[in-house]
Structure 1
Amino acid sequence: MKPWNPNDIRITTKNFTIREIYTQIEDKEPDQEKELDLAPDFQRTFVWNTKQQIRLIESILLGIPLPAFYFNQDKDGAQQVIDGVQRLTTIKRFMSNQLELKEEHLEYLSPLKGATFSSLDPATKRRFAGTQIVAHVIEPQTPDDVKYDIFNRVNTGGSPLTAQEIRHCMSKERSREFLRKLVESSSFEQATGKFFWSKDSSGQWIRDSKRMTDREMALRFCAFYSIPLNKYASASSLDVFLLDFARWLDQQAKPADLKKLETAFHQAMRNCHLVFGVGAFRRWHPFNLTPSGRLNRAIFESQTLALADYPTEIVVANKEVIQKSLRDLFKDPDYDTAVSSGTGSYRKVVDRLDKPRKALVKIFI
């Protein structure tokens, strides 16, 4: 990250009541964004258990001050929660009567066992709803790369947000929905196998976002597919490059742009599965010719971007030679390093994206 000028930072510290925060989360005019966005799709990764939630509500009822929250404000005045998602989600659940205070998790207020918000006596409800919280609001004048760095620095909770989770919180519904649609498609599921699925307590298979690794992979594909590599050279970091592209998806991309990206993404997924099967997006041992290790995001970029524009029939007809050509790249020390360490550097991005493309061009000359 380039050093940034502290004078660029615009932060306002505001006091809200819990009632005001709840209203901002719940109120939404038709065809308008919420005043305060908890990133609904992000809540699939809501990780607090019942005990953590009830202890938070008990603390508020006891009058214990909450740690400060961090909000991101966009140019339209809407705000997204960056730090404090778990706490505000818990408060929202309680005030919506979705959380019941269970005796085994109450340390001091056991007489409230079984209570929901609506069942509290009027005085207790007023005290809870009138509790003041402090929020640091990062104003829209603050550059996005500076905002990202601030959120990364203050992100100190029990389950710190990943880089993609921060980008997700800073994004709008348009890019969130677009990336969700890509990673929940059958072509992506087939290409990545069961990597983004896990079994729940009952033994049923459920989709697991792996802290939004899937969204980051889709975003990286779309960004590098759309933007010339020489422009990546001027980016201060891979994370900021991806954040800028997410902003483009939200604010500037036309429907035709999104359709083109979607088509290329699905074609890339199908082709990678045809060529590599379960070995797609994994390192191949250069001598015993077998895939190994876990799914690798850098190899995902390398293989998908190389194969995105080839018709299926051509890939099927040349499957073996394509696989060998891309597999042999792991014998090249520069390529192997480009997909295994320091993968955000410009030189390594060029190596892992250009080398497979050139290898395929040789096949079809």
Structure 2
Amino acid sequence: MSQVAEFQYNEEELAEEFGFDDAQNESDSSEFNLKHISDIVVYGTDWTTETILNQLNRKNINLNPRFQRRDAWTIKRKSRFIESLILGIPVPQIVLAEKEKGKYLVLDGKQRLLTILQFYNKSESPNNNFKLKELEFLSNLNSLKLQDFENNPLYSQYLDALDNQTIRTTIIKNWQSENFLYKVFLRLNAESTPLSPQELRQALNPGKFTDYIDDQSIKSKGLKAIFTKQPDFRMRDNQLLLKYIAFQYFLPEYRGDLKNFVDKTSKRFNDEWEKKQDNIEETIQKFEKAVEMTIRIFGEDNFSKIWLQDKATYERQRNLSLLDTILFYFSDAEIRQKVEQVNKIKIEEAFKTICSSSPDFISSVKSSTNTITNTHRRLALWGKALQEVLEIDFNIPELINNHLVFSGFR
């Protein structure tokens, strides 16, 4: 039991390796009541593929169409997963959390579940009803899809084997804390590519605002520029947009716990969606204009990257904390208007100067990025540099008694 009490995860556990120096990591310092942990029930069951498909079709397992847009597996990988089920080759377990009786959230196995749904022609995604491809053992089934198995007696044995194959499924019941599910989620992914907890947040905090953010993250031109034209299957685009909105509205409430901060933002705007919709839509437009301005200043290849003076080049990876900082100021219409009047080279040079001459600035976007101190430090340092090059005055967030103080740019 002491192992559970001592377990914590930190920012490094969420570090991303796909073209980003990820400064969006969500650390959670919450402690748990050990009595609540001891009340949790975990048990395993061997559901067949057909049973799992039935649970998905009845919406008992939450795999909504919004997730299905974020398809991470190639057709080859999907095909070989189906091949493994047909042959009875062991596959990783599915892990579900029972939200209410008979209704489940997915903690591990979403891509496997999506593959089953797609192969059985029950999905709402582009890869629905895919043809098997590059199978390793059953090459005679290459180029076939579900209807071929159903209509040709030669293949019925394979479909029967697929339908009846058992998949180990672990179910967690009686959990009392969403934070516990986050920790389970991160542990499950500790030995594989880490995933963003935004995926779990959407399941735990459904609502019109949550749906709106997901829709906008798909449509956003700015996010497409940041995430190389495609919806990010780890939902970092969704997370980035949500964090942007949270900081636009509630910066003085930030206490260094990013996960809790954006969780509360989601819950608040889901509850107040009818009143806040117009304002949030305006905020999204500010985001798009801020990204557009950032790209115009730094170029498509270099925006949101740190300047390396010793190498006379920009870092290879994007830095999302740096991007947050730049977007914060470029979201203001008057600042953008002044930027239009200044040679963009001067702004870029001011940025290069702060990167090469301020170790505090670099530290604030590279290490422990979610602390209040580093959040304030990068906003204040870049804000002052921007004031000087633009030759205008505007308010910059202050740090007073370890609280961020900011009530608008003027």
| Cα separation, partners in 2 of 1:348 and 1:103, compared to 1, 3 Å | closer
Q: Residue type of the partner of 2:177? A: P
> Which runs of 5 or more structure 2 residues have no equivalent in the other structure?
1-27, 122-127, 394-410
- What is the match of residue 179 of structure 2? 145
| Cα separation, partners in 2 of 1:138 and 1:316, compared to 1, 3 Å | farther
Deviation of the 1:178 alpha carbon: 1.7
Deviation of the 1:43 alpha carbon: 4.0
- What is the match of residue 254 of structure 2? 231
Q: What's the RMSD between the two structures over aligned residues? A: 4.0
Q: Is 2:211 the counterpart of 1:186?
A: no
Asked which structure has the greater RCO (Cα within 8 Å, sep 6+), the reply is: 2
Match 1:269 to one of 280, 285, 291: 291
Structure 2: how far apart are the matches of 1:46 and 1:226?
31
Structure 2: how far apart are the matches of 1:186 and 1:114?
37
Q: Residue type of the partner of 2:338? A: I
Cα contact 1:73–1:137 (8 A) shared by 2: yes
Partner of 1:282, secondary structure, is coil
Q: Is 2:47 the counterpart of 1:24?
A: no
Q: Is 2:392 the counterpart of 1:364?
A: yes
Cα contact 1:217–1:300 (8 A) shared by 2: no
Partner of 1:86, secondary structure, is helix
- What is the match of residue 371 of structure 2? 345
- What is the match of residue 241 of structure 2? 218
Encode CA deviations 1:310-345: one digit per residue, 9 max, x unaligned: 334333124556555555432222112111223222
| Cα separation, partners in 2 of 1:265 and 1:14, compared to 1, 3 Å | same
Partner of 1:82, secondary structure, is strand
| Cα separation, partners in 2 of 1:261 and 1:149, compared to 1, 3 Å | farther
How high is the TM-score relative to the length of structure 1? 0.74
Cα contact 2:73–2:111 (8 A) shared by 1: yes
> Which runs of 5 or more structure 1 residues have no equivalent in the other structure?
28-33, 198-206
Identity of aligned residues (%): 23
Deviation of the 1:70 alpha carbon: 1.6
- What is the match of residue 201 of structure 1? none
Structure 2: how far apart are the matches of 1:54 and 1:12?
31
Structure 2: how far apart are the matches of 1:300 and 1:113?
44
Structure 2: how far apart are the matches of 1:309 and 1:357?
12
Structure 1: how far apart are the matches of 2:347 and 2:83?
61
- What is the match of residue 315 of structure 1? 339
Structure 2: how far apart are the matches of 1:44 and 1:111?
27
| Cα separation, partners in 2 of 1:180 and 1:300, compared to 1, 3 Å | farther
| Cα separation, partners in 2 of 1:189 and 1:314, compared to 1, 3 Å | farther
1:1-365 to 2 correspondences below 5 Å: 1-2=28-29, 3-9=31-37, 10-13=40-43, 15=45, 16-27=47-58, 34-63=59-88, 66-74=91-99, 78-96=103-121, 98-100=129-131, 104-106=135-137, 114=144, 116=146, 117-119=149-151, 128-138=162-172, 141-155=175-189, 159-167=193-201, 172=206, 174=208, 175=210, 177-182=212-217, 184-189=219-224, 192=226, 196-197=228-229, 207=230, 209=232, 211-233=234-256, 235=257, 238-253=258-273, 254-278=276-300, 279-285=302-308, 291-311=314-334, 312-318=336-342, 320=344, 323=348, 325-330=350-355, 331-360=357-386, 363-365=391-393
How high is the TM-score relative to the length of structure 2? 0.67
| Cα separation, partners in 2 of 1:163 and 1:112, compared to 1, 3 Å | closer
Q: Residue type of the partner of 1:57? A: I
- What is the match of residue 401 of structure 2? none
| Cα separation, partners in 2 of 1:319 and 1:91, compared to 1, 3 Å | same
Alignment: residue pair count? 343
Deviation of the 1:303 alpha carbon: 0.5
Q: Residue type of the partner of 1:228? A: L
- What is the match of residue 405 of structure 2? none
Partner of 1:228, secondary structure, is helix
Deviation of the 1:167 alpha carbon: 4.4
Structure 2: how far apart are the matches of 1:231 and 1:135?
38
